[in-house]
Amino acid sequence: MNLSRLVRSASSLAALFPSPCVSCGGARPGVTNGALCRKCQSQIEFCPKNICCVCGAPLEFDYEIETGETYKCGECIARPPRYEELRFAMVYSGPVRELFHAFKFQSQRRLAAPLAALGQGALAPWLREWPDAVIIPTPLAMRKLYTRGYNPSYLLAKILADMAGLKVAEGALRRIRPTTPQFGLNSAQRVKNVKGAFEVHSPKSIRGRRVIFFDDILTTGATIRECCKTIKKAKPKALRVATLCRVADV
């Protein structure tokens, strides 16, 4: 049996015996995402239109995006970040949170594709605005990479980069000291935890180039700020940040 027939056979079996929805555990009839049932997909909260044009934070007021006007949040006006723009695709809650938990902590590597597909509509066109950019994902500590077997940020960045026709610079940024998991730490502890934890491996590969730093989830932003601070030392031409999800109350 050739490869194409094997793929068709596997697809037929999947249609006859679908695996349960990752979020609710129910059946997945007519599934389009490959991980979530239609009901759970309908509960996903995508990035709103009224966001800060710099950090992507949802604004407290609505505006007509058709006018072409953009607005900055108070934080970006008072303390501009080290990057030009940040964009996210979804709010980290509900079914998306369940998907991420299974992807990152239950060794379900296969969920990288459906997760990236959910963010494609919001992120891929924005990534294409810089066709000459290189994407740098959040590096994982070697011990954690060995234990988990994969870097979630790299897998998602690679899929989204392929969608946008960009390249991923794996290894351009690396961790130079171990850090504890950010989960469960408060804002001050997160900042201290990642301070000085990163290093640009090859500054020449970044200097003078457009760079898009990618992190899978934005919580307090401590990791993003520290990584951008490190990347800026290599003197890129410009720096943007993409993240698949953002915690609602950041």
Residue 34, SS3? coil
Could you report the per-residue pLDDT of 167-185, keeping only the tens digit for each? 999 889 998 887 776 666 6
Residue 143 included in any domain: yes
Residue 151 included in any domain: yes
Q: Are residues 225 and 129 in the same domain?
A: yes
Q: Are residues 33 and 86 in the same domain?
A: no
Q: Are residues 139 and 203 in the same domain?
A: yes
- Judging by DSSP bridges, how do beta strands 173-175 and 198-200 pair with one another? antiparallel
Instruction: Dihedral sign for Cα 232, 236, 240, 245, please.
Output: negative
Question: Please, what is the average pLDDT of the chain?
Answer: 85
Q: 146-172 in b/e burial notation, b at 16+ Cβ within 10 A? A: eeeeebbbbbbbbbbbebbebebbbeb
CA angle 115, 120, 124 (to 5 degrees): 140
Q: Are residues 121 and 18 in the same domain?
A: no
Tokens at 217, concatenated = 């989830």
User: One-letter amino acid identity for 140?
Assistant: L
pLDDT value at position 181?
66
**Alpha-carbon gap, residue 75 to 242, rounded angstroms:** 19
Task: Report yes or no on whether pTM surpasses 0.75.
Answer: yes
Helix (H) or strand (E) holding 227: helix 222-232
Residue 191 included in any domain: yes
Q: Are residues 102 and 36 in the same domain?
A: no
User: One-letter amino acid identity for 16?
Assistant: L
Could you report the per-residue pLDDT of 115-160, keeping only the tens digit for each? 999 999 999 999 999 999 999 999 988 888 888 899 999 999 999 9
Q: Is 189's pLDDT higher than 70?
A: yes
Q: Are residues 110 and 172 in the same domain?
A: yes
Could you report the per-residue pLDDT of 8-27, keeping only the tens digit for each? 443 444 455 567 889 988 87
Compute φ and ψ for 209, nearest 5 degrees.
Answer: -110, 155
Could you report the per-residue pLDDT of 52-70, keeping only the tens digit for each? 999 999 887 766 555 667 8
Residue 182, SS3? coil
CATH code at 210? 3.40.50
Q: How many CB atoms lie within 10 A of CB 126?
A: 15
Residue ranges making up the domain that contains 17: 1-41
Following DSSP, what letter does each residue of 100-158 receive, concatenated? Answer: HHHHHHS--GGGHHHHHHHHHHHHHHHHTTSTT-EEEEPP--HHHHHHHSS-HHHHHHH
